[in-house]
Copies of this chain bind each other. A is one copy, B any other.
Amino acid sequence: MIQHPAFPVEPWVLRETTLHPEMLPQTESLFALANGHIGWRGNLDEGEPHGLPGSYLNGVYERRPLPYAEAGFGFPESGETVINVTNGKLIRLLVDDEPFDIRYGELLTHERVLDFRAGTLTRRADWVSPAGRRIRVSSVRLVSLTQRSICAISYQVESLDGPVRVVVQSELVTNEELPPRGGDPRVAAVLEAPLESVEYGAVDGRAGLMHRTRHSDLTVSAAMQHAVACDADTHTWTETRPDLARLTVGTRLQQGQPLRLVKFVAYGWSGTRSRPALQDQVEGGLTVAAQTGWEGLAEEQRAYLDDFWARADVELEGDEEIQQATRFGMFHVLQSGARAEGRPIPAKGLSGNGYDGHSFWDAETFVLPVLTYTIPDAAAHELRWRQSTLPGALERASQLGLRGAAFPWRTISGAECSAYWPAGTAAFHVNADIAHAAAQYAEATGDEQFERTTGFDLLVHTARLWSSLGHHDGGGTFRIDGVTGPDEYSAIADNNIFTNVMAARNMRAAADVAQRYPKQARELRVTTDEVGAWLAAADGIVIPYDSARGVHCQAEGFTEHQVWDFAQTSPDEYPLLAHFPYFDLYRKQVVKQADLVLAIQLCPDAFTEEEKARDFEYYEGLTVRDSSLSACSQAVVAADTGHLDLAYDYLAETALMDLADLEHNTRDGLHIAALAGSWIVLVQGFGGMRYCPGQPPSFAPKLPAALTRLTFTLILRGRHLRVEVIPSRVTYILDGDGPPLEITHYGAPVTVAPGQPETRDIPPLPARPRPSQPPGREPVRRSLPEPVRRRRGQGTSPAERAQPAEKTARAEKAGKAAPAGP
């Protein structure tokens, strides 16, 4: 899509120059604004046409039944689905009584711009009404990163060709009619008009609606206030109904005369606070926003983002498209997590209702590394959210017959919502992923307060889970049987290597904090014996290895399974899960997404360089990337093992996941983890930066042929370390005052002192033949020069590649509901 002529490549914005109504579902996701608390899809101001109207509040969901034809003990009885809350985006316009609707009349010009530095979505449209009136609509929209409960719109209409009567209707609308969803009619019934009116009204130029959900018992409040500016006389009136608040402004504009409306919208919700308290909160937010004013909000927004980019920007030379995509990705990662504050980071952020709005393990595994090194506070907030769900996770573990905490596979509130346990409950690695993120955050920031109050809890309760989930066999080795790793084309396997190495790291990290924080250890009754048991389990963990093939086994027995018949699998049979039964996928050697390779990415110290190279090559031949969570890890390990061009190809795939709609479901929301993947590939892959517990941050930079320069900054223990990579060497630069920072460069210690950049050569990499992927599943060869790509038919533009409707419809027909993970 970004290669489509309507989307020029620009470094700091995503610009759309012509409107393609059939692409609205996707562009609504791409142009979504959010601050981690509120999310507004990029719907047109006037509401229609639309792909999916979407206004979300992080944590606001409805409970719905999870049906089972054959249920079992411990299957969750109800699920959670994010709901479309009161829409505050709506500003409708009548032009001489005709509604402004781009499906009628003629759209002369159209432009939308998502500005990564301004944090705004601007739109300009010149339109001729069916009756021949020419008008211009200009709007700027923001979801404030500084005032968490506030969104604002600056909306202007002017007449381009003579006097015209305009009526602007600015609204709050609840229970919008949504496009039909497939699946269980009972679920659809619960989600149709999910909000019950509690109260509504207008006073002193403000109007508000308060609702509550029927089953999850959450109260949602939205209010709006306006500032109208117009030279001409205007008439305004306000009305409210249970599901509607409306300010109407009528006037008659001369040619060139604008009517400008600034709309401030405040949202609040709670499952516990009283209605008056909630009302006060929303009114208070609105008052502050109105006092700040539009320009003030816009300035705060830009200042917030200037600060962000100053410490977080990743600069590239050699690929402008990837440069743009990387900033696009980081902007959306920021929007998903910046102000989540006590709430999860859903797989789709707040940009759509895909995966029911659930948060998965990928928040900790892919999003948190980016936040940890660029907005550490946001990472801490996410981990505190996990901590806040500990009571439920302890209870779930107990229900499952385990000690410690069992965090959910998919959730909004913290309750397990996965209805297919082999790919949900059995995927216990989510617990190690959370522990890993907590330990990584503490190591990167040195935030002892966090480690003592939050990290400690997370590490100890997850370590307890592992020690009760696994067992020592006769030989003293520690086995974890019957679990599911990241690869969703395998399940219920013994000694999944990713799970085992992550569990071992988890138990070691718990032992470490237990020894360092004796007071906390006493409070949680951690004994010396328990710590000893964790360390014994970690030391004895089974790492299955196939000596005949000279590779590690993703899980025990995996390499003895039949290899998937890739030659007989046609291109339109991907994703495989939509065309083949789980039973067949599970019993063969075929990998949906990096699993062993993700273990190499996250725990590089658990493998020798030679093992990494052999394992990577072997699993490349089996991995089909039917998940958006794979290209990033394959890129990192490709770079580790010297396959820089392949890494670069995978970089493009993760970076363009949504801009090119590679999975044909961007309409449901963005793939936040895949977008975070750009940063990960650039920093961890080409920067070679890696975190290993107890060791200084390590770097091993190397650039693919296409990139001539890569610069990024990391926040390490509150300091900014800037890394500038060119093909032959790298410079490490530490800002500010304070002691020097210890790092390693290709294993050699480097001390970086403030004001004393350290430059090192990049050693030559071992030459290895490019590994093969399953036929037809090779990444697009971006690493080839453009003319070669074109000749080989691999450079088709994403717009050409995207044939979403047919393919996705087929997949949906076969699978009906969302598969277990992103």
Contacts and interface: CB of A to CB of B under 8 A. Distances in A.
B421 A73 contact: no
A92 to B, nearest CB: 38
B421 A582 contact: yes
Interface stretch (A330-338, A749-757, A809-817): A809-817
Contacts of A418: 70
Interface string A478-498: 010111000000011010000
B482 A70 contact: no
A510 interface: no
Given A72-B581, A425-B581, A577-B73, A562 B481 contact: yes
A816 B812 CA distance: 28
Contacts of A556: 557
A567 interface: no
B69 A560 contact: no
A817 B71 contact: yes
Interface in A418-449: 418-422, 425-426
B582 A72 contact: yes
B819 A73 contact: no
A479 to B, nearest CB: 7
Contacts of A471: 562
B491 A71 contact: no
A579 interface: yes
A801 to B, nearest CB: 24
A479 B473 CA distance: 25
Interface string A64-103: 0011111111100001000000000000000000000000
Contacts of A184: 67, 69
Instruction: State the oligomeric state as a number of copies.
Output: 2
A583 B71 contact: no
B587 A73 contact: no
A193 to B, nearest CB: 20
Interface in A238-282: none
Contact of A420 (B69, B426, B815, B816): B69
Interface in A553-572: 556-557, 560-562
- Best-surrounded residue of A71, A420, A426 (most CB of chain B within 10 A): A71
A557 B494 contact: yes
A338 to B, nearest CB: 31
Contacts of A71: 815-817
Interface size class of A (residues with CB under 8 A): 35 or more
B814 A73 contact: yes
A483 B588 CA distance: 12
A482 B581 contact: no
A578 interface: yes
Nearest to A568: B401
A548 B492 contact: no
Contacts of A479: 560-562
B584 A400 contact: yes
A820 interface: yes
A624 to B, nearest CB: 15
A474 interface: yes
A230 interface: no
A580 interface: yes
A67 B70 contact: no
A524 interface: no
Contacts of A421: 581-583
Given A69-B419, A70-B419, A419-B68, A425 B583 contact: yes
Given A481-B562, A582-B421, A587-B481, A577 B72 contact: yes
Contact of A73 (B72, B474, B578): B578
A586 interface: yes
Nearest to A560: B473
A401 B584 contact: yes
Given A69-B66, A482-B587, A560-B473, A74 B492 contact: no
A204 B560 CA distance: 73
A818 interface: yes
A345 to B, nearest CB: 22
A213 B74 CA distance: 35
B581 A74 contact: yes
25 contacts: A66-B69, A67-B68, A68-B68, A68-B69, A69-B79, A69-B184, A69-B419, A70-B419, A71-B816, A71-B817, A72-B582, A73-B578, A73-B815, A400-B583, A400-B584, A425-B581, A471-B562, A481-B557, A482-B588, A491-B492, A492-B583, A492-B587, A494-B557, A494-B587, A556-B557
Q: Report, nearest first, the 5 A-B pairs whose CB atoms are least far apart.
A: A482-B587, A69-B419, A67-B67, A74-B581, A71-B816
Given A67-B68, A481-B557, 18 more contacts: A67-B184, A68-B68, A69-B184, A69-B419, A69-B420, A72-B819, A73-B814, A74-B583, A401-B580, A421-B582, A426-B583, A471-B562, A481-B560, A481-B561, A482-B586, A483-B583, A494-B560, A557-B557
